[in-house]
A and B are shown apart, each in its own frame.
Chain A
Amino acid sequence: MHELPITQNILEIALRHAEQAGASEIKRIDILIGQYSSFVDDSIQFYWKIIAAGTIAENAVLHFQRVPVEFTCQDCGAVYEPQEDTFACPRCLSPRVRVTRGEELRVESIEIETP
Chain B
Amino acid sequence: MSQKITVVENILSANDQIAQKNRAAFDAAGVFVVNMMASPGAGKTTFILKTLEALQGRLRMGVIEGDLATSIDAEKALAAGIPAVQINTGGDCHLDAVMLAGAIPALPLDQLDLVIVENVGNLICPASFNLGTHMNLLIASIPEGDDKPYKYPTMYRGVQALIISKIDLLPYVPFDMDYFRQGVEMLNPGLVTFPVSARTGEGMQAWADWLVERVKAK
Chain A positions within 8 Å of B, measured between CB atoms, are 1-2, 5-6, 9-10, 12-14, 17-18, 21, 23, 27, 31, 36-39, 69, 71, 84-88, 95-99, 103, 105-114
Majority-rule SS of B interface residues: mixed
Q: How far is the CB of A66 from chain B (nearest CB, A)?
A: 14
* 16 residue pairs from A and B, CB less than 8 Å apart: A1-B92, A1-B93, A2-B125, A5-B96, A9-B14, A37-B128, A38-B154, A85-B147, A103-B154, A103-B157, A105-B10, A106-B11, A107-B11, A109-B7, A112-B3, A113-B2
A-B contact count (CB 8 A): 105
Number of interface residues of B (CB under 8 A): 35
Given A39-B128, A87-B183: A98 in contact with B189 (beta carbons within 8 A)? yes
By a CB distance below 8 angstroms, the chain A residues around B14 are 9, 12
By a CB distance below 8 angstroms, the chain A residues around B96 are 5
On whether the beta carbons of B11 and A31 are closer than 8 Å, the reply is yes
By a CB distance below 8 angstroms, the chain A residues around B9 are 13, 17, 106-107
Q: How far is the CB of B10 from chain A (nearest CB, A)?
A: 6
